[in-house]
């Protein structure tokens, strides 16, 4: 490993700023809140933080609708606060990654406002994807593309003369118009934004929907093309269908953008890094984003979406390792983020290759989540921790309808409840809301916290050896000290079909029992850390993991 390539083994903590800690008492997390919790993060033992978008935003999609990429949303703080945070994080030994949103801007961004005011065919319109509609009067959307949040991906504008006119593309909400990456001015502007933050000491960026920037020329209909392509069963085995290009996801041309971005990152003395948020199902396609002259890492969503089943996990781990090895990039392992149901709740249900909806058994989900984090931190490469997972927070599935803020709720006609359930503010202390999230006598948190969260606070778990928090702290401490963990390779050890068991040199063994029965532990190894009680000697109960030293 080259000196300074910290990102190859890093554990990166995701700070969802709205919900992490509220310094000024308005019920919304902010930079002051993050600064006050840096000692907590340093003590937890992570290497870096990734902060979700903190730029000025009308918040149509919780900050993923950016109206100014070179400033800070006033509700989160100021640019000076941001600079202070970066410096303080560094002083705590924590690197700082921001979130860049290159696929779309806010509809309030000056570029889009200028595009609305300018005529069809103008340079201003050409920074976005404007088209004439279909039908005699252009009254139908230009093609059949769908918004990820529901409904058409096109919205018709009223032209400056007051008449309905062109349509613009938005793969997400209408407040998030897609930018035209064929435009050299767009490319130059985003590179300048990267430099703006790199010059302020930011260590890297997570790239929002990194696989969506480029659209196929002519914008052909998607038709019945499936994305992602589901595996199909052939002779009892699940196989991937042959990859076919999609008109707006994962286009080959997107890699040119990232080669240019890599050159920007490498132009710094302490090179900056990128992580791609690319929901690309095939490991081989994902690995293209992390070729030597492109991005450094990519979130591994096939691991996140894998059910808690030994064969499925083994398959995704093997495929990930093989494809990343091909291009010399370290894999990442991620269990949760702000877009998916928290894994305690996902694992709290019967597991299968298809999602199962049934009542949650949170005790079971928690036991599996404890085992899952030992698996995650023992795998070769880097890992992500989504705020609150170290507290074992479950998904909040009973938020009242009238507090839901995810645009998916409205856009789906109230059929998709969206992602608010994993975004509920973190409980820090005390036994009632806001649990130290905001100072006393503050406004209510922007999403209500359950009244049952008292035992899950940082304060309640600290010092309790059986708590999720202490498990994370212990695992991260061992991971830091152990030469076997982080980047490298693994060797599978055959035990029993329901177990995942592998060795890492020197002398490290990870065993995860995903079967319904206890399994025997090897004699010649000493237990370093277990995810749950080991009531019988040399026996690993179901849904439990151990780290051992030979």
Nearest residue to 425 (alpha-carbon basis) of 411, 441, 439: 439
The reply on whether position 64 binds ligand NOJ by CB under 6 A is: yes
Minimum separation from the CB atom of position 436 to ligand NOJ (A): 26
Residues 238-277, one symbol each (x = binds ligand NOJ by CB under 6 A, - = not), give ---------------------------------------x
Residue 383, token pair as written in the block: 């890992």
Residue 504 parent element (H or E): strand 499-504
Which residues 429-458 are close enough to bind ligand NOJ by CB under 6 A?
Answer: none
Nearer to ligand NOJ, 95 or 170 (CB): 170
Nearer to ligand NOJ, 61 or 543 (CB): 61
The reply on whether position 172 binds ligand NOJ by CB under 6 A is: yes
Among the options 22, 24, 73, 277, which is catalytic? 277
The sign one gets for the Cα dihedral 103, 106, 110, 112 is: positive
How distant, in Å, are the alpha carbons of 140, 298, 339 from that of 279? 29, 10, 12
The strand order across the sheet containing 154-158 reads 130-131, 164-169, 154-158
Which residues 285-344 are close enough to bind ligand NOJ by CB under 6 A?
Answer: 338-339
Nearer to ligand NOJ, 378 or 383 (CB): 383
Q: What is the DSSP string of 204-217?
A: EEEETTTT-S---T
Three-class secondary structure of residue 69 per DSSP? coil
Nearer to ligand NOJ, 101 or 341 (CB): 101
Among the options 107, 208, 319, 323, which is catalytic? 208
Give yes or no: 252 in active site: no
516, 508 in Cβ contact below 8 A? Answer: no
Minimum separation from the CB atom of position 491 to ligand NOJ (A): 35
Q: 3-state SS of 126-152?
A: HHECEECCECCCCCECCCCCECCCCCE
Alpha helix ranges (H) inside 143-271:
184-198, 254-266
Nearer to ligand NOJ, 368 or 423 (CB): 423
Nearer to ligand NOJ, 108 or 429 (CB): 108
Three-class secondary structure of residue 487 per DSSP? coil
Distance CA 176, CA 159 (A): 19
Instruction: Name the DSSP class of 241.
Output: P
Minimum separation from the CB atom of position 339 to ligand NOJ (A): 5
Which residues 184-223 are close enough to bind ligand NOJ by CB under 6 A?
Answer: 208-209
Minimum separation from the CB atom of position 148 to ligand NOJ (A): 7
Task: Report which residue's Cβ sits closest to ligand NOJ.
Answer: 64
442, 436 in Cβ contact below 8 A? Answer: no
The dihedrals phi and psi of 408, each to the nearest 5 degrees, come to -60, -30
Which residues 336-375 are close enough to bind ligand NOJ by CB under 6 A?
Answer: 338-339
Nearer to ligand NOJ, 173 or 475 (CB): 173
Nearest residue to 284 (alpha-carbon basis) of 334, 248, 329, 235: 329
Number of residues in contact with ligand NOJ, rule: CB under 6 A?
9
Residue 340, token pair as written in the block: 């998916």
Minimum separation from the CB atom of position 100 to ligand NOJ (A): 11
Give yes or no: 277 in active site: yes
Minimum separation from the CB atom of position 112 to ligand NOJ (A): 15
Among positions 101, 456, 484, 500, the unique one binding ligand NOJ when judged by CB under 6 A = 101
The reply on whether position 61 binds ligand NOJ by CB under 6 A is: yes
The dihedrals phi and psi of 33, each to the nearest 5 degrees, come to -60, -45
Minimum separation from the CB atom of position 228 to ligand NOJ (A): 15
Query: What residues line the site for ligand NOJ (CB under 6 A)?
Result: 61, 64, 101, 172, 208-209, 277, 338-339
Point out the residues that are catalytic.
208, 277
């Amino acid at each position: 490993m080259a000196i300074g390539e910290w990102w190859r083994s890093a554990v990166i903590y995701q700070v969802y700023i709205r919900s992490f800690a509220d310094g000024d008492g308005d019920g919304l997390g902010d930079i002051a809140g993050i600064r006050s919790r840096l000692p907590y993060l340093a003590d937890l033992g992570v290497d870096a933080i990734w902060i979700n978008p903190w730029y000025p935003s009308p918040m149509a999609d919780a900050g993923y609708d950016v109206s100014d990429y070179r400033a800070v949303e006033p509700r989160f703080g100021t640019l000076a606060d941001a600079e202070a945070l970066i410096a303080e994080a560094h002083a705590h030994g924590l690197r700082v990654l921001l979130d860049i949103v290159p696929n779309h801007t806010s509809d309030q961004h000056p570029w889009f406002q200028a595009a609305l005011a300018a005529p069809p065919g103008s340079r201003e319109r050409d920074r976005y994807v404007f088209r004439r509609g279909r039908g005699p009067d252009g009254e139908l959307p230009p093609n059949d593309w769908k918004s990820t949040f529901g409904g058409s991906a096109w919205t018709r504008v009223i032209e400056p003369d007051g008449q309905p006119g062109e349509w613009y593309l938005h793969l997400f909400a209408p407040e998030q118009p897609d930018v035209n990456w064929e435009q050299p001015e767009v490319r130059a502007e985003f590179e300048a934004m990267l430099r703006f933050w790199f010059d302020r000491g930011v260590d890297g960026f997570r790239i929002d929907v990194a696989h969506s920037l480029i659209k196929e020329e002519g914008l052909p209909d998607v038709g019945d093309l499936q994305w992602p392509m589901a595996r199909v069963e052939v002779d009892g085995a699940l196989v991937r269908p042959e990859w076919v290009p999609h008109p707006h996801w994962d286009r080959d041309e997107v890699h040119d953008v990232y080669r240019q971005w890599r050159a920007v990152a490498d132009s710094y003395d302490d090179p900056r890094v990128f992580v791609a948020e690319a929901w690309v199902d095939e490991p081989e396609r994902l690995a293209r984003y992390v070729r030597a002259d492109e991005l450094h890492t990519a979130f591994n969503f096939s691991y996140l979406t894998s059910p808690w089943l030994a064969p499925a996990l083994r398959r995704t781990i093997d495929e990930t390792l093989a494809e990343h090895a091909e291009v010399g990039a370290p894999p990442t392992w991620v269990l949760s983020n702000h877009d998916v149901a928290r894994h305690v709740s996902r694992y709290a249900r019967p597991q299968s290759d298809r999602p199962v909806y049934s009542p949650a058994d949170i005790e079971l989900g928690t036991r599996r989540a404890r085992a899952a984090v030992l698996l995650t931190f023992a795998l070769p490469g880097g890992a992500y921790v989504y705020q609150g997972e170290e507290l074992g927070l479950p998904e909040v599935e009973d938020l009242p309808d009238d507090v839901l803020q995810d645009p998916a709720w409205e856009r789906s006609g109230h059929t998709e409840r969206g992602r608010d359930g994993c975004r509920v503010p973190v409980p820090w202390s005390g036994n009632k809301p806001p649990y130290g999230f905001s100072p006393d006598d503050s406004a209510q948190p922007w999403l209500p916290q359950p009244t049952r969260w008292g035992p899950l606070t940082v304060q309640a778990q600290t010092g309790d050896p059986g708590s999720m928090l202490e498990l994370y702290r212990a695992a991260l401490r061992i991971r830091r000290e152990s030469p076997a963990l982080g980047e490298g390779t693994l060797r599978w050890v055959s035990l029993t079909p329901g177990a995942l068991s592998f060795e890492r040199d020197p002398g490290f063994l990870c065993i995860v029992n995903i079967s319904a029965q206890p399994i025997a532990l090897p004699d010649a190894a000493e237990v370093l850390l277990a995810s749950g009680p080991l009531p019988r000697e040399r026996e690993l109960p179901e849904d439990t993991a151990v780290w051992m030293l030979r």
